[in-house]
Amino acid sequence: RRARAIELMKLVGIADPEERLNSFPHQMSGGQCQRVMIAIAIACNPKLLIADEPTTALDVTIQKQILDLLVGLQAKYGMGLIM
């Protein structure tokens, strides 16, 4: 389970996933928390991902990174994406 969690955290672009795995949410930035939520959402290889306001409360630069990440995951896994 730990190895899978680290793999997913790497996939969504979290730096130092081995260390972040033991972090509490308040120790992470908003963008990192959002990436963790995306990792959780794709853990079971869904055919459809519904992302309700995935960029709320993030600055513009991080918003673009999150949207690019979602589109990239959609293409990589061939899943549907509703935002």
Give dist(CA 31, CA 79) in Å, integer: 22
Residue-level pLDDT, tens digit, the chain, 83 residues = 899 999 999 999 999 999 999 999 999 999 999 999 999 999 999 999 999 999 999 999 999 999 999 999 999 999 999 99
Q: Residue 38's domain spans which residues?
A: 2-82
Q: How far apart are the first and last CA of the chain?
A: 29
| Residue 73 near residue 38 (C-beta atoms within 8 A) | yes
3 state SS for the chain? CHHHHHHHHHHCCCCCHHHHCCCCHHHCCHHHHHHHHHHHHHCCCCCEEECCCCCCCCCHHHHHHHHHHHHHHHHHHCCEEEC
* Number of structural domains found in the chain: 1
